[in-house]
């Protein structure tokens, strides 16, 4: 016998979660607010104390600085200036606005060096503060070798012929005028000649040279004012050339004939003379 079965769907009840709303306690809210305000007050107090300490420290530093920079213990009393030849010590001090009586700690070393270095004569400068009351200024000046013409003005020039400063009546020094050929640099021979003149090894001095010219890399010419004679020098072997020139000069001076010579061309171990009578020896 067949048995029929009817499927039945089993329905299960689903449980729903329900959130329970709890009432907010006013006491808890007030506590949180009070705690937050307390933290803010603490932070404000910390910042206030920190700023107060910072202001007090800054004020103390300022008062200390004013006291130190006005105390007579640091008054400048020993001002030592070295290396000045064209510039006097008074001129250098005036350039930098430094003088005895200044407070040494108020002297700005960088400003002093900059103001002195602005002079055309100054090649380098060093300033040293010596506590409690000393200041040392050391300068190195440009050394003039020539006078050069630039336009309608004359300038002192260094060993390379570069202008240093314009000629002035107050600081006038008689130096040879450099008659420089275009594109011909000043050779070592002229500098060696000047060094020998400084050592008094030649029969004439620097004050007698009116002008000097570099004719070629090895040859140069100078003109003497007293006596008036043109001297051409071959610098390939300058010591031998100067020996020849000296022998000829001494011989002419011994015969009292220097005033008759128009020009001398000196070479190693020989020399040619030209007299005003156009006679050649």
H/E stretch holding 163 reads: strand 163-166
What pLDDT sits at residue 181?
72
CA distance 269 to 247: 10
**CA distance between the termini of the chain:** 170
56-70, 81-95, 129-143: least confident range: 56-70
Assigned CATH class of 72-141: alpha beta
What pLDDT sits at residue 132?
87
Identify the CA nearest to 96 among candidates 35, 55, 138. 138
| Under 8 Å between Cβ of 120 and 133 | no
pLDDT at 88 over 60: yes
pLDDT at 21 over 60: no
What pLDDT sits at residue 262?
95
Pick the CATH number of 176-275 from 2.30.30.90, 2.60.40.1930, 3.40.50.11690, 3.20.20.70: 3.40.50.11690
Q: What beta strand segments (E) does 183-260 contain?
A: 209-214, 219-225, 228-234
pLDDT at 99 over 90: no
pLDDT at 154 over 70: yes
| Under 8 Å between Cβ of 236 and 270 | no
Domain residue spans of the chain: 31-66, 72-141, 176-275
Q: From the centroid of its chain, how far is CA 88?
A: 19
Identify the CA nearest to 142 among candidates 99, 108, 171. 171
């Amino acid at each position: 016998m067949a048995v029929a079965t009817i499927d039945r769907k089993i329905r299960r009840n689903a449980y729903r979660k329900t959130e329970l709303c709890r009432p907010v306690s006013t006491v808890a809210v007030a506590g949180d607010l009070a705690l937050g305000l307390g933290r803010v007050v603490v932070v404000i107090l910390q910042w206030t104390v920190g700023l107060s300490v910072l202001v007090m420290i800054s004020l103390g530093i300022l008062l200390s600085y004013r006291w130190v920079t006005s105390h007579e213990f640091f008054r400048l009393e020993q001002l030592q200036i070295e290396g000045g030849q064209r510039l006097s010590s008074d001129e250098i001090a005036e350039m930098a606005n430094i003088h005895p009586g200044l407070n040494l700690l108020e002297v700005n070393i960088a400003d002093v060096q900059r103001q002195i270095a602005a002079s055309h004569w100054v090649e380098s400068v060093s300033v040293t503060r010596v506590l409690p009351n000393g200041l040392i200024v050391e300068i190195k000046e440009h050394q003039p070798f020539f006078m050069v013409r630039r336009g309608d003005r004359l300038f002192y020039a260094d060993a390379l012929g570069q202008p240093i400063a314009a000629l002035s009546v107050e600081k006038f020094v008689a130096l040879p005028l450099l008659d420089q050929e275009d594109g011909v640099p000043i050779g070592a021979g002229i500098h060696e000649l000047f060094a020998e003149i400084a050592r008094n090894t030649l029969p004439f001095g620097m004050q007698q040279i009116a002008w000097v010219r570099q004719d070629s890399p090895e040859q140069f010419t100078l003109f003497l004012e007293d006596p008036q004679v043109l001297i051409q020098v071959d610098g390939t072997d300058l010591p031998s050339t100067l020996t020849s020139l000296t022998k000829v000069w001494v011989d002419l001076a011994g015969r009292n004939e220097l005033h008759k010579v128009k020009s001398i061309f000196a070479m190693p171990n020989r020399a040619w003379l030209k007299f005003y009578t156009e006679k050649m020896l």
